[in-house]
Amino acid sequence: MAWVRFRKKDMPGGLWTKCPSCEETIFSKELSENFQVCPKCSHHLTCTVDERVRYTLDEGSFEELYTELKPVDRLDFRDKTSYAEKLEKTAEKVKRLEAMTIGTGTLHGREVVLGVMNFQFLGGSMGVVVGEKVTLAVEIAMERRLPLVLVCASGGARMHEGALSLMQMAKTCAALGRFADAGGLYLAVLTNPTTGGVTASFATMADVIIGEPGALIGFAGPRVIQNTIKQELPEGFQRSEFLLARGQIDRIVSRPQLKDQLFLLMEFLAPTSDEARPVSELLAAASRSTNGHSPTEGAEAAEGAGADDGAKNRLPEESGDEETPKKKRPRKKAKKNGKA
């Protein structure tokens, strides 16, 4: 029902990258260090799974799970080429077996389950394995009582797996239903583009839905809509800003701020302590203990929660906290990883 063509110029790689929005030529390494956000116009370019993990979690904390799950061509699907062949080629090119990567890691010291979709793998489409990995991520989060963060990017359900793909919508939603009933926290980040069966299932069933600036988010793709209604689509249609104005998402958060915002939401909704402590303190403490990916710049970015600019300059003694969140992790009450 929905698809979006992936533009070559959006793809990271090469020594220099041209911003698809303002056409500024940027040194690719600099762009990667800047969260794949154009320094000139703030356009959010597509980032790789590895980059996304790096931008979201503490350095080196990600432990990927279920990497071995590999899609199967159950239908013997064949269009111009066979699906089996397409899978092989894509896996080789993208260096991953599927469009979904899941695992655990820490985010400013807090353990979380993270799932990242990869639009470069057959348009991030959801077949059996993507659905399975989403479900497994939900189950791990539930078992270990961890917050779940899913970063979505998808053209929808995968056609090559037919109705099996469609059923993944039910599988993932059913798992999320249980997770919600158990009080689990699920934060979704919808990136460019998130459409079709993914939007119509797990992506929109989060406790808090965050859109990346300018991301295309919708049920049907714009071309399908245009072909159906035969009229021009309004300016900015289906972009994050459009959806925010119509009450469909909770927030728009730019990529450099995302890690801190996720942390902040977790501290509000699944706090590590009874007492509400200033987030700047928590971030400073996390930065000391993890020495990770620049949590300091986040302190500035964490708008709306008393983020103070002093946080990054404050000395450890001044913050006066007695323990670091990394050591606490009190949400892990029942860690029943039941070794076989």
Partner 1 sequence: MAERKPDPLQSALDFERPIVELEQKILDLEELAEQTHMDLTNEVRPLKELRDKLLAQIFESLTPWQRVRLARHPLRPITGDYLDLIFEDVVELHGDKLYSDDRAIMTALARLGDERVMLIAHRKGKTTEERLATNWGCAHPEGYRKALQKMKLAEKFGVPLVTLINTPGAYPGIGAEERGQAAAIARNILEMSKLRVPVVSCVIGEGGSGGALGIGVCDRLLMLEYSYYSVISPEGCAAILWKDGEKAEAAATALKITSRDLDALGLIDEVVPEPLGGAHRDRFRTAISLRDRILFNIKELKKLPVDRLVESRYERYRWVGDGDELIRAVREAKERGGRPAPTPPAGGDEADGEGKAEGEGGG
Range 263-322, binding partner 1 (CB under 8 A): none
Judged by CB under 8 A, the chain residues 196 through 225 that form the site for partner 1 are: 196-205, 218-221, 224-225
78 binds partner 1 (CB under 8 A): yes
Residue reference for tokens 């793998």: 121
* Minimum distance, C-beta of residue 298 to partner 1, in the bound complex (Å): 25
Provide the 10 A C-beta neighbour count for residue 20. Answer: 16
* Minimum distance, C-beta of residue 283 to partner 1, in the bound complex (Å): 28
* Minimum distance, C-beta of residue 197 to partner 1, in the bound complex (Å): 3
Judged by CB under 8 A, the chain residues 12 through 51 that form the site for partner 1 are: 12-14, 48-50
Please tell me the total number of residues recorded for the chain in this structure.
340
Give me the sign of the Cα torsion angle 46, 52, 56, 58.
negative
Residue from 72, 84, 252, 269 that binds partner 1 (CB under 8 A)? 72
Give me the torsion for CA of 82, 169, 221, 120, rounded to 10°: -50
* Minimum distance, C-beta of residue 323 to partner 1, in the bound complex (Å): 27
Residue from 34, 59, 167, 301 that binds partner 1 (CB under 8 A)? 167
Judged by CB under 8 A, the chain residues 169 through 188 that form the site for partner 1 are: 169-171, 173-178, 181
10 Å CB burial of residue 327 (0-12, 13-18, 19+) is exposed
Partners of 115 in beta bridges? 102, 150
Q: 136 with 102: CB under 8 angstroms?
A: yes
Name the residue type at position 279: V
119 binds partner 1 (CB under 8 A): yes
User: Rounded to whole angstroms, what are the CA distances from 50 to 20, 54, 217?
Assistant: 21, 6, 23
Q: 249 with 208: CB under 8 angstroms?
A: no
* Minimum distance, C-beta of residue 180 to partner 1, in the bound complex (Å): 8
Residue from 24, 34, 66, 296 that binds partner 1 (CB under 8 A)? 66
Residue from 111, 132, 207, 212 that binds partner 1 (CB under 8 A)? 132
Q: Which stretch binds partner 1 (CB under 8 A): 18-26, 89-97, 275-283, 295-303?
A: 89-97
Give me the torsion for CA of 223, 227, 228, 232, rounded to 10°: 80
10 Å CB burial of residue 76 (0-12, 13-18, 19+) is exposed
Residue from 34, 42, 84, 94 that binds partner 1 (CB under 8 A)? 94
Phi-psi region of 230 (alpha: psi -120 to 50; beta: other; left: phi over 0): left
* Minimum distance, C-beta of residue 129 to partner 1, in the bound complex (Å): 7
Q: Which is nearer to partner 1, 161 or 212 (CB)?
A: 161
229 binds partner 1 (CB under 8 A): yes
Phi, psi (degrees; rounded to nearest 5) at 18: -95, 125
* Minimum distance, C-beta of residue 331 to partner 1, in the bound complex (Å): 18
Q: Which is nearer to partner 1, 180 or 305 (CB)?
A: 180
